[in-house]
Amino acid sequence: GEKVEQHESTLSVREGDSAVINCTYTDTASSYFPWYKQEAGKSLHFVIDIRSNVDRKQSQRLTVLLDKKAKRFSLHITATQPEDSAIYFCAAKTGGYKVVFGSGTRLLVSP
Amino acid sequence: GALVYQYPRRTICKSGTSMRMECQAVGFQATSVAWYRQSPQKTFELIALSTVNSAIKYEQNFTQEKFPISHPNLSFSSMTVLNAYLEDRGLYLCGAREGDDEQYFGPGTRLTVL
């Protein structure tokens, strides 16, 4: 079945810098790649997603890139702010209903 | 808009007892409901996926005997953790979607086992 690897377990950046979180997946049939954010002690919040029919999607300070050939996708956050600090999870979904999560990246944005 | 509610938000149970958690979808028809568990310091593991008109599918390491799930209509699902032990503690998330649309997650039920 699908496996999603999230390469950075922690990432520390200074406020205003950019942050990049990278994920890879194994199932070529995966077609939907959402990103979620989990703040301390809280549940998941949807952040942004990308479908396999495009290779880039931007929403304000967030950009997701998808490289289907390499089976790799990444979340780029520009002009980071302390409130961006959280654990970010990438995920992948095949044509079925199952969503497989990565292991999470703890992003720390210091002032 | 689409919302998913879960209750209770937090619960504590004694080792060996059982507890039931509920998930309600509002504003859309939950044709599929997935239950996940996040154990301490870990990612989200899929427990089982319930799709309307299909049998509930459990992932490896999770069984119906331990985590019975009910999905009686397009807005409600429940899951029980039977005979809970320390390794069952964590945050249980319900994710619901209509068709192939985005999956909406509830706030989770945090289970503590004493």
**Rounded distance, CA A32 to CA A53, Å?**
9
**Among residues B77, B42, B78, B74, which one has the least CA distance to residue B61?**
B42
Residue of B49, B106, B108 lying closest to A97 (CB–CB): B49
C-alpha–C-alpha distance, residues B89 and B15, integer Å? 10
Select the residue of B32, B49, B93 nearest A44 (Cβ to Cβ). B93
CA–CA dist B98, B104 (Å, integer) = 9
Q: What is the pLDDT of residues A63-106, one digit of tens each?
A: 999 999 999 999 999 999 999 999 999 999 876 677 899 999 99
Whether residue B51 lies within 8 A of chain A, CB to CB, comes out as yes
Q: What are phi and psi of B87, to 5 degrees?
A: -70, -10
A43 reaches B (C-beta below 8 A) = yes
Q: What is the DSSP string of B18-48?
A: -EEEEEEEESS--SEEEEEEE-TTS-EEEEE
Q: Is B91 on the interface with A (CB under 8 A)?
A: yes
Residues present in chain B in total: 114
Query: What pLDDT, in 10s, does the model give residues B38-87?
Result: 998 888 999 999 998 888 999 998 999 999 999 999 999 999 999 999 99
